[in-house]
Amino acid sequence: MELIDGKKISDQIKEEIAVEVEKLKASGGKTPHLAAILVGNDGGSITYVNNKVLACEKVGFKSTLIRYEDSVTEEELLNKVQEINNDPDIDGLIVQLPLPKHISSDKVTEAVSPQKDVDGFHPVNVGRMVANLPAFLPATPAGILELLKRYEIRTKGKHCVVIGRSHIVGSPVSILMAKSAYPGNCTVTICHSHTHNLKEICLQADIIIAALGKPEFVTADMVKEGAVVIDVGTTRVASSVTKSGFKLKGDVNFEEVAPKCSFITPVPGGVGPMTIASLLLNTLKSAKKEVYA
Ligand code: GUN
């Protein structure tokens, strides 16, 4: 069993980006600039957004964090998105999800200019991804593919079972893993809450991508010997041993599943850090006008 070290790979990618940013600046190019909007006081969302902003500083990007109380109106938020769309210094904009119930995430997602949508959530980027056109790919799926690539994991002809069909992970990663590319060329099965015989399907998987948000859902009896297991879960559960009072739990029961795997990602330190690295890569691409000329 080999552990896939997402922390190590994401640090490597950040170093590569920092070198590139230095070169950009030295040649008179612009400093990449990411703007993040955070609504409310959810502990997880605050941590994620703070980590994104800190990562920007680390690689030499500019960053702008805009915070609103839960009570912000949809109109106020849409106006701010428009203002950022029109700001020529800002290359990328993310609106941290979920948003409060009185705000339509669909409306906000569609309001972000596709040219600045470094989360890859806008329907234009989703469509372009499906159509094999240059697009911002969503950060977590892109991070998963990068891990498979950097660990030289073979994917061609393999059966990839994705558990979960969210817009953020399950659905896009299924599309990417089936593409005629590397990583890709998989036979993909998408499982979800209505799937019959989930265990039997998982037992046929060469690669399992667990992205359903249920701690320790994938158990040893669901995993074939030698499988590659990618754990996207990051549920916060109360803990008396950590300073913060909680710890992150993956969707895979690591202890019992790991011994059966050829490769497995831990939680934390697997997919999570890669999400930020991919977001930085998208922002760099945007600053360099590499996706939309
Ligand atoms: N909420 C959970 N994951 C993400 C993400 O990748 N981007 C944003 N904006 N919100 C999220």
**What are the tens digits of pLDDT across the range 230-241?**
999 999 999 999
Q: What is the pLDDT of residue 118?
A: 98
**Mean pLDDT for the stretch of residues 254-263:** 98
**Mean pLDDT for the stretch of residues 38-47:** 95
Which CATH number does 139-272 carry? 3.40.50.720
Q: What is the pLDDT of residue 21?
A: 98
For the chain, the average pLDDT equals: 97
- Atom from ligand 1 closest to the CA of residue 119: 7
Q: What is the pLDDT of residue 115?
A: 98
Q: Which of 52, 80, 116, 285 is catalytic?
A: 52
**Mean pLDDT for the stretch of residues 11-15:** 98
Q: What is the pLDDT of residue 237?
A: 92
The pTM assigned to this predicted structure is 0.97
For the chain, domain boundaries: 28-114, 139-272
Percent of the chain scoring above 70 in pLDDT = 100
Q: List pocket residues of ligand 1, CB cut-off 6 Å.
A: 94-97, 119, 139-140, 168, 275
Residue 263 C-alpha to ligand 1 middle, in angstroms?
26
Q: What is the pLDDT of residue 231?
A: 98
Q: What is the pLDDT of residue 232?
A: 98
The Cα–Cα gap between 149 and 289 comes to: 24
Contact by Cβ (8 Å): 148, 159? no
Percent of the chain scoring above 90 in pLDDT = 98
**Mean pLDDT for the stretch of residues 35-40:** 98
The Cα–Cα gap between 145 and 116 comes to: 22
Residue 84 C-alpha to ligand 1 middle, in angstroms?
18
- Whether 28-114 and 139-272 share one fold: the answer is yes
The Cα–Cα gap between 198 and 172 comes to: 20
> Which secondary-structure segment (H or E) carries 51?
helix 43-59
Contact by Cβ (8 Å): 177, 158? no
The b/e string for 188-218 (b: 16+ C-beta within 10 A; e otherwise) is: bbbbeeeeeebeebbeebbbbbbbbeebbbb
User: Maximum distance among all alpha carbons in the chain?
Assistant: 58
Q: What is the pLDDT of residue 251?
A: 98
Whole-angstrom CA distances from 78 to 35, 61, 255 are 14, 25, 45
Q: What is the pLDDT of residue 227?
A: 99
Q: In CATH, what class is 28-114?
A: alpha beta
Q: What is the pLDDT of residue 293?
A: 83
**Mean pLDDT for the stretch of residues 197-216:** 98
Contact by Cβ (8 Å): 56, 31? no
Residue 277 C-alpha to ligand 1 middle, in angstroms?
13
Confidence bin at 24 (pLDDT 50/70/90) = very high
Three-point CA angle 260, 261, 266, nearest 5°: 115
Of 151, 174, 154, 176, nearest in space to 162 by CA: 174
pLDDT of 229 over the 90 cut: yes
